[in-house]
Structure 1
Amino acid sequence: MPRSLASAPQARTVSAPAVLWLRRDLRRADHPALGAAATHGDVLPVFVLDPAFFEAAGPARQGWLAATLRALDASYEGRLCLRAGDPATVIPELVREVGAASVHVSTETEPGGAARDAAVRANLVAAGVDWVETGSPYAVTPGRVVNQSGEGYKVFTPFLRAWREHGWRGPAVEPDGVRLLAADGDPGAWRRVDAALTACPIPLPPAGEDPARARWAEFLGSGLAGYDTDRDRPDLAATSRLSPYLKFGVVHPRTLLADLQGRTGKAVERFTAELAWREFYADVLHRHPASLAGDLNPLGVGYDEPGEGFEAWRDGRTGFPVVDAGMRQLLATGWMHNRVRMITASFLTKDLHLWWPVGARHFLDHLIDGDLASNTHGWQWTAGTGTDAAPYFRVFNPVTQGEKFDPHGDYVRRWVPELAHVRGAAVHRPWDVADGYAHGYPRPILDHAAERLEALARYQRR
């Protein structure tokens, strides 16, 4: 297991108040920036509802953020200061109001967040206010895992090995006697939060740190043992379902890794590797910010424009049951099983021949766990333009994938009620069932075998 790099909490040296600006670290436990802020004196926790980020989120993720902020306010004893506007203006104004001498944050490495932070930091430094970065949303901050040449990795397996060897700090302990400062929030911002929660089109999981820890405890107790063998089964409740909490930093991956220490076996290794995938993609995006909107490894193939095929994919009516089940699960819950994410992404890029950003944007519009780096590079991995040696020839067969990973058809029947009458694995081939289309399920919109050959031909012509 990785070595622990934990250090003892620093002694408090009371001076002017400190602002703790929360972003993708919406928690109180295991929060290094909170500990650092508390060494300076009273701490004002603040969240800025930045229109540039908030308005870009779909209504499901807006609702999830709103629920999380309400829970966060309770974690900070009702003293979360919520303001709305451009942080480059809002944070300096708040600093002047409370007479703070420092602003504490978790390091941000996503392109948009890093640019925002640079603007805020410049304004604060010009005013003589300290900018202090402590910790990040990751066990190992992106940019720190390097090969022998001092460069980053583009292939996961060597990254995983180096990530483990690098190690990470143990969970941060909140200093005794943290004093939280109260400041006037923006009633209009709270109204927008509550409106987003009311308008959320999906039922949300319980929000906040306590539900996140309860979910993790449940998974450790009854789910982890079967994770290695069952995690690819969308018909089973075999995954941790922690991704919505990791999205906003309600729980830190370092906390999870610490709880895994002393546990052995393939399931532990597999779950740890899945956490590492999240860190790998964050590292790749940090080093290659242009990959957010373009191919990391361009293939030079031709793509079609979105049309009726995209609309059928988006709405879950392609005529391929496991694809449609996944797309309907996404619309109904704001979440999709990871194996099905790969199947649906392959269908869009390899069967419909659309460029991956079309699908990635749709996912971000609906996923409550829509992590920018993981979503972007998960799509690129499937499309063949991302972090893999030569994946362009990998074309998922949506029928055989459904039969393999939903062997009894329970996942499809849950999300595609038109096929609820079809028993067993036959649900994946309704065209072979006498009454397969008796309840209005659509016929396939394309011939997968033909489109697979077309995809391979396009790649070979590149």
Structure 2
Amino acid sequence: MSQSTRSTTKRNIFWFRRDLRLSDNPALLAALESCDELIAVFILDEKLIKLSGSKRLAYFGQSLRSLDESLGNKLHLMVGDQVTVLKELISRYGADEVHISEEFEPYGAARDLRVEAAGIKLVRTGSPYAVSPGRVLKPSDATPYRVYTPFYRAWCVHGWRKPVAAPKDLKLVTPQSADRNFVDWKVPEGCEITPAGEAAALARWEVFKKSALASYDTERNNAGVDGTSKLSAHLKWGEIHPRTLLADLGTSNAHDVYRKEIAWREFYADVLFNNPHTENDYYAPRFKDMRYDKPGEKFKAWCEGRTGYPFVDAAMRQIVKEGWMHNRTRMVVASFLVKDLHLEWQLGADFFMEHLVDFDVASNAHGWQWTA
């Protein structure tokens, strides 16, 4: 690449994170609008990989492959410290800007601040949420909501933008062979996971809209039927944006109930944003004083689906095999662990973190605390 080419061609970097899609990705559009060529990059985070269970890694690897295919096999899949990788790419390509979709959970937010402290300016556009955490505040005193129902009402009043189309012309820089560090993590023997990627997410949404959305208000709690959207893993990895789902919802009771489920995800993200310690600590400090038993054989039996309670055991066997569990059964097994076995909620939250493909730090921590 000649010096003259570097000086006349404007290049931006788009750093993919929890937004592994092309459609309804405002940050990607913003990056493309202000450059001649785009460097598409994902940086594998070795710390997060070590904390991820085998099923989630297998899904993640498939999702990256799907994203790369949609990019014409031009994804820079890098390994290493984010500051080091980004500085090398900026230097190599003469990139002007690094564009991102903003993240709000404690680890991601701290990582981005560290990158900026190293002198790399990040251009933020949008987030993984319909309404970014921190934006829904009480009109009386501009403080965050602590209770879901008033949050939901204010969230609806705040509103969200319409989805945006996928870019028509990507203008991507071709990566070098050393930039293609794909890892195909294997699905554990005896386990099954759902198909990953943006196309799979959009297809699943279409199936749900046609087959189950109209009865969602009456069937969502029935664990024995395919009555939920099963989009949680797709939302976790940003293969579909919640705005895409919200745009298709009407005013029926079933549609409103589904909208409320999306709002629960955003409420938990807002709570964690305003109370970052609650990732693994108590939201209500008074519950710290409760006494629990020490984990032993009964915790092992819960993990392995051997409690003797068929409904609980079936749900626990499902999460181990599929990396997924119906929302109602998640609440049942959580309640059983805390209220029947008298074990602290963090034990179950850590088990879910290991096994769930759709693990989301805010939803997991606060879903467990809400049940406990």
* Alignment TM class, shorter chain as reference: over 0.9
Quote the offset at 1:88 in angstroms. Answer: 2.3
Contact 1:138 1:253 in 2 (8 A): yes
Q: What amino acid is the match of 1:281?
A: Y
TM-superposition CA deviations, 1:3-36 (whole Å, max 9, x none): xxxxxxxxxxx96211110110000111011111
Q: Shift of residue 133 of structure 1?
A: 0.4
Task: Give CA-to-partner distance per residue, 1:145-202, whole Å, 9 cap, x none.
Answer: 0002111111100000000000001112345433111222646831xx21x1355762
Q: Deviations over 1:335-362 (max 9, x none)?
A: 0010000010011111111111110010
Aligned residue number for residue 293 of structure 1: 280
Counterpart in 1 of 2:28?
34
The SS at the match of 1:29 is coil
1:376 and 2:371 matched: no
State whether residues 20 and 239 of structure 2, in contact with CA within 8 Å, keep that contact through their aligned partners in structure 1. yes
Q: Given that residues 92 and 124 in structure 1 are in contact (C-alpha distance below 8 angstroms), is that contact kept between their aligned partners in structure 2?
A: no
- Residue in 2 that maps onto 1:47: 42
Letter in 1 for 2:24: D
Give percent identity, aligned residues only. 49
Distance 2:305 2:187 in 1: 26
Give 3-state SS (helix, strand or coil) of 2:181's partner.
helix
* Whole-Å separation in 2 of the counterparts to 1:306 and 1:170: 48
C-alpha RMSD of the superposition: 1.5
Residue type of the alignment partner of 2:17:
R
Q: Which amino acid aligns with 2:145?
A: Y
| Equivalent residues of 1:245, 1:251 under 8 A apart | yes
Question: Which residue of the partner structure matches residue 99 of structure 2?
Answer: 104
CA distance in 2 between partners of 1:178 and 1:50 (Å): 25
d(CA) in 2 for partners of 1:365 and 1:38? 36
Report the residue type matching 1:271 in the other structure.
Answer: Y
Match of 2:5 in 1: none
Of the three residues 20, 23, 27, the one matched with 2:17 is 23
Q: Secondary structure at the match of 1:323?
A: helix
5+ unaligned residues in a row in structure 1: which ranges? 1-13, 384-462
Distance in structure 2 (CA, Å) of the matches to 1:174 and 1:369: 24
Q: Which moved more, 1:166-175 or 1:32-41?
A: 166-175
1:242 aligns with one of 231, 238, 253 = 231
Please tell me whether the aligned partners of residues 60 and 200 of structure 1 are also in contact (alpha carbons under 8 angstroms): no
Q: 1:207 aligns with which of 181, 196, 202?
A: 196
Query: Which residue of structure 2 aligns with residue 181 of structure 1?
Result: 173
Corresponding position of 1:440: none
Q: Secondary structure at the match of 1:55?
A: helix
CA contact 1:31–1:172 (8 Å) conserved in 2: yes
- Mean Cα deviation higher: 35-44 or 159-168: 35-44
- The 5-angstrom pairing of residues 11-410 of structure 1 reads 16-41=10-35, 42-125=37-120, 130-148=121-139, 149-184=141-176, 186=178, 189-190=181-182, 193-194=183-184, 196-197=185-186, 199=188, 202-260=191-249, 263-298=250-285, 299=287, 300-383=289-372
Deviation per residue, 1:388-426 (Å, 9 max, x gap): xxxxxxxxxxxxxxxxxxxxxxxxxxxxxxxxxxxxxxx
CA contact (8 A) 1:19 1:44 kept: yes
Distance in 2, matches of 1:137 and 1:174, equals: 16
Q: Which structure is higher in RCO with an 8 Å CA cutoff and minimum separation 6?
A: 2
1:211-238 C-alpha deviation (Å, 9 max, x unpaired): 1111101111111011100000010110
For 1:317 and 1:345, how far apart are their aligned partners in 2? 15
Amino acid at match of 2:186: L
Preserved CA contact (<8 Å) 1:98 1:183: no
Residues 27 and 249, structure 1, Cα contact 8 Å, conserved in 2: yes
SS at match of 1:45: strand
The C-alpha deviation readout for 1:100-127, integer Å capped at 9, x for no partner, is 11100000000001111111122233xx
Question: What does the per-residue CA deviation read over 1:264-299, in whole Å, with 9 as the maximum and x for residues that have no partner?
Answer: 211000000000000000000000000011101022
Q: How many residues align?
A: 361
Checking the alignment, whether the CA contact within 8 Å between 1:59 and 1:200 is kept in structure 2 is no
Q: Distance in 2 between matches of 1:57 and 1:25?
A: 18
Deviates more, 1:89-98 or 1:216-225: 89-98
Distance change (3 Å), C-alpha of 1:45 and 1:368:
same
User: What does the per-residue CA deviation read over 1:61-90, in whole Å, with 9 as the maximum and x for residues that have no partner?
Assistant: 111100100101011111111001121221
In structure 1, distance between residues paired with 2:44 and 2:205: 28
CA contact (8 A) 1:67 1:197 kept: no
Distance across 2 between alignment mates of 1:151 and 1:330: 37
Which letter does structure 1 place at the counterpart of 2:221?
Answer: D
